[in-house]
């Protein structure tokens, strides 16, 4: 997905949304989410261990399935969080690049206009001087 075709408003709104997600994630307890993932892995290992000791039981299969779902949810959310952070980094980089490019063109235009004004004031147009000198004959 190329961000070069995006407008500045789209980039800024996407950046704001991703930063809001980042803040919400940092406010929520990451320790609790890691504990949940650990409990999911513990449920899977417990279910497998009980299958070896007691045989296949509905509760053991339920523990394995529930623990697997919990671990998969944790893995998907961590992957999505990392993808969002990388995307946020790329958006910030693109915004900075556009600002830098805009400031370069702005400074280039300002220096071009300033140099034009300087040359006009330093060297007034020659055509006006020649016309006035030619239109008025010398009286001697």
pLDDT per position as a tens digit, 40-92: 999 999 999 999 998 888 999 999 999 999 999 989 988 988 888 888 888 88
Domain ranges of the chain: 8-107
Contact 70, 40 (CB under 8 A): yes
Pinpoint the alpha helices (H) of 2-57. 8-27, 30-54
pTM flag (> 0.75): no
Secondary structure (DSSP) of 57-92: -HHHHHHHHHHHHHHHHHHHHHHHHHHHHHHHHHHH
Q: Write down the pLDDT at residue 90.
A: 87
Q: Write down the pLDDT at residue 140.
A: 44
Q: Write down the pLDDT at residue 19.
A: 83
In terms of Cβ atoms closer than 10 Å to its own Cβ (0-12, 13-18, 19+), residue 55 is exposed
């Amino acid at each position: 997905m190329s961000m070069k075709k995006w407008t500045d408003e789209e980039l800024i709104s996407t950046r704001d949304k991703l930063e809001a997600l980042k803040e919400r994630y940092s406010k929520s307890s990451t320790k609790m989410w890691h504990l949940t993932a650990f409990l999911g892995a513990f449920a899977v290992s417990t279910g497998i261990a009980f299958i070896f000791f007691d045989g296949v039981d509905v509760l053991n299969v339920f523990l394995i399935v529930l623990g697997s779902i919990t671990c998969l949810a944790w893995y998907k959310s961590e992957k999505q969080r990392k993808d969002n952070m990388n995307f946020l980094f790329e958006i910030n980089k693109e915004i900075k690049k556009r600002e830098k490019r805009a400031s370069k063109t702005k400074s280039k235009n300002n220096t071009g206009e300033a140099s034009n004004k300087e040359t006009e004031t330093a060297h007034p147009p020659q055509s006006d001087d020649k016309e006035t000198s030619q239109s008025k004959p010398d009286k001697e």
